[in-house]
Amino acid sequence: MIPIAPIFALLAGNVLLVLGTGLQSVLLPVRAHLEGFSAQTLGLMGAGYYGGFLFGCLAAPWLVRRAGHSRAFAALAVIAAQTFPLHAALPEAAAWIALRAVGGFCFAGLSMIVESWVNEKCANGNRGRILALYMVLTSLASAGGQGMLTLSDPKGMLPFAAVSLLISLSLVPLMLSKAPAPAPLRRARLALGRLYRTSPVALIGCLLVGAANGAFWSLAPVAVQSQGGSAGDAASFAAAAVLGGALLQAPVGRLSDRVDRRLLMIFACLGATGTGLVLGLWPLPSGWPRLGVAAVFGAFAFQLYALAVAHANDHAPPGGFIETSGGLLLTFGIGAVAGPLAASALMTRHGPATLFLFISAVHLALAGFIAYRMSRRNAALTESPERSRADGRSAPGRWRLRWAVR
């Protein structure tokens, strides 16, 4: 059994939060397209969001140290919820870029708090399964939020109000829960050099996954519409990709607790490369063919972040989960700033299909880097005494041999 009681309220709040963010991830590009914003403007919006995300990664550890996990989560959720009605009230490119930066700041902190909280309640022997459950719930909530766009007119105020309401409601489970929050932080410092020495694959993986995912979420709805799809087609495409990712989270998470996680990352990268090439080189008709390929793409591409996080947290020191999560999110955000800018420039010059070629190239580069690192550092059949004690296996005779993926 997976021990979820200590994080049940956190997972419930995160589902409501992701329902809101899933809706906005499709709503904002679709509404921006309807407002006549160019692909380059959309790229700047994506870069603005992830620029704010970077600052949020740097500030969130300080906020958590000052106010604690629960109150920092509440403050950031309230600020994020207020930005969405302003998008509808101020349909100007400059205003949207600024609002996206504020949203990125808040969502970086919220993601860092949730992921560090989940990882603190994990042991190495069940981390993959618990993160898989977290990612499945996140994926389903994201797909559900994206599907909500089909229930209202993206030109109206209602979907923006729905995003704000869902983010606000995410506070309720945490505020009513009796489950203890993680211990207060003693320090709040991000050390990317130390994180790279611990796990080069996790750090570079988050950087390149950030570039690919940032480009996908910022520009895929626009690419679908530019190829003749409707706003509903764009929402369905994104939802199909997310649902495809959710289908494999549980088996991949279970398998990753038993084998070298890096092997699974290479397999996922190659699958994402292949399906991205299909989307980029062979324009598919709308309907089931396009949705099917989108689902297969998501099944590969959306495993990578959770695998990278699990890979790094297997070796995080006790009490170091907020720093590990913060460092990975910061690196993800750097990639996600660069990704939309590079992809939007390619789309402007060579057409919307080049988005998927760019995403394929990024995944192929990551597969090559992981293969290189595996040739430099082999998986070991040992586990450090420090991490074993942290997982409750303090007696040497009770240590369980497992694949350590350093």
Tell me the domains of the chain and their CATH numbers: 5-180+190-398 (1.20.1250.20)
The letter for the amino acid at 323 is E
Contacts of 397 by beta carbon, 8 Å cutoff, 6+ apart? none
Spatial contact of 342 and 47, defined as CB atoms under 8 Å apart: no
Cα–Cα distance for residue pair 217/212, rounded to 1 Å: 9
- Say what the pLDDT of residue 324 is: 77
Residue 16 exposed, middle or buried by CB count within 10 Å (0-12, 13-18, 19+): buried
Distance CA 358, CA 280 (A): 9
Q: Other C-beta atoms within 10 Å of 277: how many?
A: 16
pLDDT at site 285: 62
Q: How far is CA 125 from the centre of its chain?
A: 23
Q: Which two tokens stand for residue 237?
A: 């495409």
380 phi and psi angles, rounded to 5 deg: -110, 160
Check if the beta carbon of residue 242 is closer than 8 Å to that of residue 303. Answer: no
pLDDT tens string, the chain, 406 residues long: the values are 556 767 788 889 999 999 998 898 888 888 888 888 887 787 788 778 878 888 888 888 888 888 888 889 999 999 999 998 898 888 888 899 999 999 999 998 898 888 778 777 766 667 777 877 887 888 788 878 888 887 878 888 889 999 999 999 999 988 888 777 776 666 556 667 778 887 889 999 999 999 999 899 888 888 887 777 777 788 788 888 888 888 888 788 888 878 888 999 999 999 999 999 998 887 666 678 888 999 999 999 988 988 998 888 776 666 666 677 778 888 888 888 888 889 988 988 888 889 999 999 999 999 999 999 888 866 543 343 334 333 433 333 322 223 222 3
Output the CA–CA distances (angstroms, integers) from residue 378 to 33, 205, 241, 382, in the order listed.
Answer: 48, 17, 33, 12
SS3 293: helix
The pTM of the full predicted model, rounded to 2 decimals, is 0.69
Return the pLDDT at 205: 94
Cα separation, 117 vs 324, in Å, equals 12
φ, ψ dihedrals at 186, nearest 5°: -90, -25
